[in-house]
Amino acid sequence: MGACLGVCSLLSCVSCLCGSAPCLLCGCCPSTKNSTITRLCFTFFLFLGTLVSIIMIIPGVEAELHKLPGFCEGGASILGTDGKVNCKSFLGHKSVYRMCFATAAFFFLFALTMVCVRSSKDPRASIQNGFWFFKFLILIGITVGAFYIPDGSFTSVWFYFGVVGSFLFILIQLILLIDFAHSWSQIWLHNADEGNSKSWYTALFFFTFLFYAVSIAAVVLLYVYYTKSDGCTENKVLISLNLIFCVVVSVLSILPKIQDAQPHSGLLQASIITLYTMFVTWSALANVPNKYCNPTLLVRVENSTTTAVPDGGQMTQWWDAPSIVGLVIFVLCTLFISIRSSDHAQVNKMMLTEESPAMLSGNTPALEDGVHRAYDNEEDGVSYNYTFFHICLLLASLYIMMTLTNWYRPDEHHQVLTSPWTAVWVKISSSWAGLLLYVWTLIAPVVLPDRDFS
């Protein structure tokens, strides 16, 4: 009898995996919007692919990957190179590229499928919000197929896809960060007007001071570790430029005209943007392909029998500090995209996450028989653009691919994994784009006074 009940319970779970999102909500969770559960489930797929990628670059696991049938066959001789290349030297790099290719292809497939879905009444909405077991099987199938892609020019071509995708995802991160900074400041200033103003203003001052202090310490450390008195001109210029830009942005944020147009604008937002800019600068300098100017440069050589390294390099551990911080920011931004919409209508319009009438009403359906379920909040209109959401996850897949491999690529002889200048300039240009975007949020109400930027 117990076995029968167990089988019935298992079958009910399987039916939920093949059905819609409401079945996936456990009894201990509060009733939640169907759209939120769906986004979290797709984000879980992305995190699962990320976890698999991380496991594959663990040294012990990486050393065993060559045992996969056919994984190194056909990769020993790479198109456009002379001689042989030891596949074992690039197993971690190859694995991450193929795993992230699979997740990117998975989200690209759904991005195409969900074009122009307007409400949950569209039959395709049921595919978006259900059939999770079959989606999981599709992801596994694409992943298995990706591991049999011949080397050829795949790595070189996919590297540039990763560069472009990562640049776009960094811009999305910056948009979310700017929105978060403005929301944080507005909420605390509102609380200061409503309650104990002294405590709230003290908290604002503390965090502003903290962020600027960390930023100044970061600038000092960047000059100490990534510049030399007799060289490293590029590093000195990049650090100095971003330092100057951050000072200009901070001064701009407290100008009287800006304050009149945006009373909630202040140094808290500027300090957050400054700190993030210093992080991006650090991440960029960690990719400078010059060991003399970049003491954290990692080099992996094609050598499976010794630990010797060329030109003062060191054997790659795939992880360095900028990669770890970047991974944490990636997780937070992806969850932010999945769980909530912005408090600002302009950001929702830009991110295609305008709330539907059902969500704006704020009404939560009553529980049926005391069971907590996800309820359909998209009958009158979707609460987020399905295609754009999948494109965001696609870009996140490319960003995590570049982060886990430190933006490295094989050299022209496919004997060493090196850091190209491309990675440096993509990161630096993204920091400049972020600063320009923040400046625009400050001056737009002054330049265009007739438009509503609330």
Q: How far apart are CA 297 and CA 275, in angstroms?
A: 23
In whole angstroms, what is the distance from residue 282 CA to residue 286 CA? Answer: 6
Q: For 92-120, how does the pLDDT look when each residue is reduced to its tens digit (9 = 90+)? A: 778 888 899 999 999 999 999 888 887 77
Ramachandran region of residue 30, left (φ > 0), alpha (ψ -120 to 50) or beta?
Answer: beta
d(CA 257, CA 250) in angstroms, rounded, equals 14
Whole-prediction pTM: 0.78
Report CA-CA distances (Å) from 337 to 130, 148, 342: 20, 32, 9
pLDDT tens per residue across span 208-258: 999 999 999 999 999 988 888 887 888 999 999 999 999 999 999 888 888
User: Which H helix or E strand runs over 410?
Assistant: strand 409-410
> 31-71 pLDDT, tens per residue?
567 777 888 889 899 999 999 888 887 777 766 666 666 55
- The helix, strand and coil proportions of the chain, stated in percent and rounded to the nearest 5, come to 65, 5, 30
Beta bridge partners of 417: 300, 410
